Every structure is written in C-alpha cells, then in structure tokens.
Amino acid sequence: MDDYSPGLEGVIAAKSRLCQIDGALGKLFYMGYPIEELVEGATYEECCYLLWHGRLPTREELAGLKQELIEKRTLPQQVIDFIALLPHTSHPMDALRTVASLLATFDQNPERSPEANLNRAVVLTAQFPTIIAHFHRLRQNQKPVEPHPKLGHAANFLYMLLGKEPDETMARVMDIAMILHLDHEMNASTFGALVTASTLSDLYSAVATGVGALKGSLHGGANEAVLKMLQEIGDPKNVEAFVDDALAKKVKMMGFGHRVYKNYDPRAKILKEYARRMSEKTKFSRFFKINDKLEKAMVERKGKQGIFPNVDLYSGIVYHQMGIATDLFTPIFAMARVSGWTAHVLEYWQDNKLFRPNSIYEGPGPRKFVPISQR
Ligand code: COA
C-alpha cells in the first residue's frame, strides 16, 4: 500500500538514453542536446536519426535517411481505398489509429531483428503524414495528393494536405513544431506503446497503442481543446472572467499544467515566439492576444502551484494560421511523435522486460458462489 502511486506519479518505469526533462528548471534534451539548439540547427529528419541511432548523422547519413523516408511515403493502393471507405465524419485520430493498425497486415516479413524493426519505424514515420493528408482530402471529397518526390518531411506533409507547396517559412515552422513534439520521455502514450511492446507484440501494435493514448485531452488532445477554448473566449476582454469561472468550477484549463514540468514548458516558449511572429498584423492576432492574456491570468493564479503553459497552448494557433483544420492538430502531434514511440520501443526491446505491475485488491473476500436459481 505504501508503494501505491495513483497514475504511477513519481514511479520509474524504465531506463532510457533518449530524452531528458528537467521539470523544475523547464529544460528538455534529446540525447543530451538542448531542444533550443536542435530547433535552431537541426531538422526533424536529423532528430529522428539521432533518436533511432543514438547519434547525430553525417551529411551522407542524413541524405540517406531523407531519401528512404521519401521512398516509403506512398501508401499501398488498398490502404488508400480503405481510407476512402472510412466515415467522413470520423475523428482523424480514429482514422490514424485504425490505419496504423492496418499497415501491419501489409508487412509480411517475419523478421524481428533490430534492423527489420528500424525499417518498420521508418515506414511508419514516412507514412503517418500521408495517412493524415489523404484522410483529410478524401473526407472533403478531394483527390489525395501524391507525396512529393523531393520535399522534406514537414514540407511534404503541408503539400499533400493543402495541395500546394508551402513557402519556406511555413515549412520550417512545421518542421520546428515536429522537432518539439518528437519525444518527451516517459509520457502516457510512450508508456502505452512500451507496455504493448513489452509483451513482444509488434511495432504496429505498439504505435497504435500510442495513437490511442495520445488522443485524450489530458495528453495530445489538449491542442485541439485549446483552440476550441480560444473560440469560446472570443475576445481578450473575456479572459479574466473565463479563467475565474473555470477555476471556481475546478475545470482544467487546457494547455496548462504538466506532470513533470513545474516551470514553463520550454516547447511552449519556443512555439509562443513563432505564434507571435505569425500572428502579427493578421486576422489571427486576436487568438494570440487571448492566449497571451490567458497565460498571464493563469500564471498569476496558479503559478505558485507549478502550473504554467505547456506545449499545447501555442501549437494550435500556429497550425490554425497555416490553414489546418482543428481536428488535425492531435494527428500532427502523433505524426511527429511516431518516431519517438518507435525509438523508445527499439531501445526497450534491447533489454525487454514484461510490464506487469500489481494493483491493490479492494473487492469482497472469498465467499461461496450463489447459483442463479437462488439469487
Ligand atoms: N488547470 C487548472 N488546474 C490545474 C491544471 C489546469 N490545466 N492542471 C493541474 N491543475 C491543478 C489540479 O486541479 C490540482 O489542483 P488541486 O491539488 O487543488 O486539486 C493540481 O493542479 C494537480 O493536478 P493533477 O491533475 O492531479 O496533476 P497531474 O500531474 O495529473 O496533471 C495534467 C497533469 C497535464 C493532466 C494536468 O495539468 C491537466 O489536466 N492539464 C490540462 C490538459 C493539458 O493541457 N494536457 C497537455 C499536457 S502536455
């Protein structure tokens, strides 16, 4: 009983070399590299290589991975036909989770070596953007846009989704958002993926578990919820009353708070700056102003409790300004995190141990069965 920690708070579930968070200081590192430096100098593909291989790539190695991702982007035609059959009204996270699972049926390779699994990780990472973009276009009765044979990972996603090549700034902001969402230590979806992987199930099942866990509003689903909240608030002048009302009713404010960060989430700091730059002089500046005021109001009231903005507070405004539908925000999070999930699973399988914790039994003691005729 002494060891019981609801939500496994504070419990150490695994050892990992991939990602480190300093919650008190609000710092994040991938393999020791500060997130701020990776955002400044690296691309999403480079960070994928870093986590999959445990070191930064050379120029040739990076070119090789980029080419591999490009070659694996196209979905089998049957998968595209399947996506077209999904109800247009279904949530894109449900579509993504289902199609991630479907991809397993097209992988007939019985090989379970680290190399074969790394290849699957690359396939999943390459195909997640295609699944999301195709689903979105098909639900709007538009033809899917074939992956671009040259564009980088983030730019190609925007191209397939919006039907035209993004400008350099837009592509770079998406790339940065993807770097920021790539990994985050032992978060709920990564843990979920590891639990599935620890049974020696397969990588597709682990990733489908990750997508399912990410969907919830306490985790990745918060970015979609933030934008809905901004729309509900409507105007910066309504912020204070909205916050007071929510806190009085003990409603959780989406985009605030974190299990590990008890300081400003460094990813939110970075995205806030891009959201600010993108909002300047546009019709979306109202959203930024609401968010900025919301942040001040929340930090004033809840900062001493360690509740600060998290990454989801500003990602929504950034995607919204790119013209992306609100219900695609969480799938975009998944599309970035898939390489993180797979990197953790590949690492965990090097020294696998089945996850099987205990629970405290609180039901009745042993008693005699009562046959149905006597109940
Ligand atoms: N708004 C208002 N109060 C919050 C809050 C928020 N977003 N997040 C935490 N709190 C408060 C709780 O009400 C609780 O207060 P109490 O002790 O007075 O009852 C206290 O902080 C602890 O909250 P708890 O939910 O137990 O902590 P946790 O570690 O389980 O929470 C989250 C982590 C992320 C689930 C939580 O902060 C949350 O629900 N945030 C909103 C959803 C979100 O943005 N998720 C994305 C995370 S990246």
Q: Which residue has the higher pLDDT, 12 or 284?
A: 12
**Among this protein's residues, is 258 annotated catalytic?**
yes
List, in sequence order, every residue forming a beta bridge with 34; answer none if it has no partner: 29
Provide the pLDDT for residue 284.
Answer: 72
Bigger pLDDT: 2 or 190?
190
| 93 CA to centre of own chain | 11
- Ligand 1 proximity of 254 Cβ (cutoff 6 Å): yes
Ligand 1 atom with minimal separation from the 265 CA: 48
In the reported structure, the alpha carbon of residue 252 is separated from the centroid of ligand 1 by a whole-number distance in angstroms of: 6
Q: Which burial class, exposed, middle or buried, applies to 276 when counting CB atoms under 10 A from its CB (0-12, 13-18, 19+)?
A: middle
- Cα 197 to Cα 300: distance, rounded to the nearest angstrom: 42
Q: Return the pLDDT at 1.
A: 63
Give tens-digit pLDDT for 226-235: 989 999 999 9
Q: Cα 234 vs. chain centroid, distance in angstroms?
A: 27
Q: If DSSP states are collapsed to H, E and C, what string results for 240-306?
A: HHHHHHHHHCCCCCCCECCCCCCCCCHHHHHHHHHHHHHHCCCCCHHHHHHHHHHHHHHHHHHHHHC
Helices 92-103, 329-349: crossing angle, 10 deg rounding: 30
- Residue range 70-97, pLDDT digits in tens: 999 999 999 999 999 999 999 999 999 9
CA of 259 to the centre of ligand 1 (A): 8
Question: What is the Cα–Cα distance from 363 to 136, expressed in whole angstroms?
Answer: 47
255 lines ligand 1 (CB under 6 A): yes
Q: Is 148 a catalytic residue?
A: no
Q: Does residue 361 carry a pLDDT above 90?
A: yes
Q: Which of 134, 258, 320, 344 is catalytic?
A: 258
Marked catalytic residue, from 107, 148, 219, 292: 219
Closest Cα to atom 29, ligand 1: which residue?
259
Told to judge if 219 belongs to the known catalytic residues of this protein, a careful annotator would answer: yes
Q: What pLDDT digit, counting tens, does each position of 320-346 carry? A: 999 999 999 999 999 999 999 999 999
